[in-house]
Amino acid sequence: MARAMTITIHVPAPLRACCDGASELLLSAPSVRAALLQLERSHPSLYRSICDETGAVRRHVNLFVNTSHVRDREGLDTALVPGDVITILPAVSGG
């Protein structure tokens, strides 16, 4: 039941060192922005890897809520409901 009340955050392998190796984190938050603010307090290194100093999501980081990219919904204001999954993924870019 506790899990049903939570949001799950999937952490990609390159960022797991920021959260003691955890591949997922659980929290309760009404929006993506609120979830990130919680991460800023609980896992500042992970937060800094996702967002820059202005609070913007880094250019080459993608955030999905379930299967939708947040940019296709309401951005950081995308509402969350219990059971939602936020997936953090590095973008397909490089060289």
Partner 1 sequence: MPERVILCIGTKKGLFVAEAPKTRQRFALRGPFGPGVAVYAALIDTRGTPRLYASSCNAFFGMKVLRSTDLGKTFKETRSAPAFPKDDGRALANIWALEAGDTKEALWCGVEPASLFRSSDGGDSWEMVPGISNHQHARKWQPGGGGLCMHTILRDRDRVHLGISTGGHYLSEDGGKTFTASNGGVGAGFVPDPFPEFGQCVHKIAGHPDAPGRLYMQNHGGWPDRPGIGVLRSDDYGHTWRSISEGLHSDYGFPIVVHPHDPDTVYVVPLEPSTRTCPGGAPAVWRSGDGGGSWKRLARGLPKKESFFTVQRDAMDIDEVKSPALYFGTTTGQLWIGRDGGEEWNCLFDSLPPIHCVKVALV
Nearer to partner 1, 19 or 61 (CB): 61
**Shortest reach from residue 59's CB to partner 1, in Å:** 8
Site string for partner 1, 13-52 (x = CB under 8 A): -xx--------------------------------xxx-x
33 close to 70: Cβ distance less than 8 angstroms: no
Q: What residues have CB less than 8 Å from 70, skipping those under 6 apart?
A: 32, 57, 63, 64, 76, 78
DSSP H or E segment with residue 41: helix 32-42
Interface characters, 49-88, with partner 1 (x: CB under 8 A): xx-xxxxx-xxxx---------------------------
User: Which is it for strands 85-90 and 68-69: parallel, antiparallel or unpaired?
Assistant: unpaired
Applying CB under 8 A, the residues found at the interface with partner 1 are: 14-15, 48-50, 52-56, 58-61, 90-91, 93-94
